[in-house]
Amino acid sequence: MTNVLVTGGAGYIGSHACKALAQAGYTPVTFDNISTGWKDAVKFGPLEQGDLLDRERLDEVFATVKPAAVMHFAALSQVGESMQDPGKYWRNNVAGSLNLIEAAVNAGCLDFVFSSTCATYGDQDGVVLDEQSAQMPINAYASSKRAIEDMLREFEAAHGLRSVIFRYFNVAGADPDADVGEHHIPETHLIPAMIEAIQGKRDGLTVFGTDYPTPDGTCIRDYVHVCDLVDAHVLGLKWLEDGKGSRVFNLGTGDGFSVKEVIDASRAVTNMEVPHSIGDRRPGDCVKLVSGSTRAVEELGWQPKRSTMQQMIGDAWRWHQTGHYAE
């Protein structure tokens, strides 16, 4: 079977991508330093432990695995932390990705699927965000992702590297079979943090700001189910295999939910109250991020099937009740 090197394959999205790749007939080979991921999540192919900042280790893995393509998820991704320590994000995300891209080109592995983010668009309220929207990142996390996108284009011009770049919105949910799920320490994502509050694993959920110019005063985001998201990544890989050119795709449903609406939906799904308090706005948080793009649907044939709020919370709730990794 065809080997695909999956960086960050022990993490939340990467582990779901490995399952989707295995189901599609590929062998996902995880490359991960296990700093924020989990060895227990590597269930669908072999693990090659290593760090993107270690170029020698990367060259060794490319020589051993001989992947036909790279699927790149490994990154630091906490917006608040990136505002406080931008150097950490430029070093890990950008320098690490440069090592990876150079190693791939050196090995003749020229198909590259990259996990980017809608955060590269910045805070553009009232603007329909599609792939042509101006990129105006307002934090170091988003800036690092935009820099990697630029890097991929430069390496295409110089070396023929082909890439599919996915800029996605808020990812949520879990594998319906509860084989893998979302587990961060500390947990910063809304839905799992909300579930932890319900389960009493944290004092409560903090709603960061209720004075935004939205109908209920809380931030609005476009949520996409992690299984729908990784299905798009497999389609992106096939796009490159079919000889199609480099392309950027937004991944979102076009539906926005406020923080308060997510809390209300959780109450309906779990039949339990969400203990929460109101906090100040976080620096770097945008008011509203919602996709206006249909390119992935029209060109890739992508069909998000599980991206209702009820389904995303329901699958996450099941994972948190039945899953989890050894700590």
Which pLDDT belongs to residue 325? 63
* Cβ atoms within 10 Å of 149's Cβ, excluding its own: 19
HSE-CB for 253 with a 13 A CA cutoff: 21
Active-site residue flag, 141: yes
Asked whether residue 259 falls in the same domain as residue 302, the answer is: yes
Below-50 pLDDT ranges, the chain: none
Helix 55-65 / helix 96-106 crossing angle, nearest 10 deg: 40
Asked whether residue 113 falls in the same domain as residue 194, the answer is: no
Whether the predicted model's global pTM rises above the 0.85 cut: yes
The CA-atom distances, in angstroms, between 197 and each of 192, 276, 317 are 9, 8, 12
Max Cα distance, the chain (Å): 56
Residue range of the domain that includes 164: 3-170+224-251
Our measurement of the distance from residue 215's CA atom to the centroid of its chain's CA atoms, rounded to an integer in Å, reads: 27
Asked whether residue 212 falls in the same domain as residue 83, the answer is: no
| CATH number, domain with residue 200 | 3.90.25.10
For the chain, strand residue ranges (E) read: 3-7, 27-32, 47-49, 69-72, 111-117, 162-168, 170-172, 205-208, 220-225, 247-251, 256-258, 276-279, 288-289
Asked whether residue 199 falls in the same domain as residue 123, the answer is: no
Catalytic residue among 121, 141, 168, 212: 141
Which pLDDT belongs to residue 76? 86
Residue 175 counted as domain residue: no
Which pLDDT belongs to residue 127? 75
Which pLDDT belongs to residue 181? 86
Asked whether residue 206 falls in the same domain as residue 108, the answer is: no
Asked whether residue 89 falls in the same domain as residue 104, the answer is: yes
Which pLDDT belongs to residue 247? 98
Which pLDDT belongs to residue 203? 85
Asked whether residue 97 falls in the same domain as residue 233, the answer is: yes
Which pLDDT belongs to residue 46? 98
Q: What is the domain count for the chain?
A: 2
Asked whether residue 155 falls in the same domain as residue 286, the answer is: no
Q: Does the N-terminal peptide bond of residue 28 adopt cis geometry, omega within 30 degrees of 0?
A: no
Residue owning tokens 């490359």: 31
Residue 94 counted as domain residue: yes
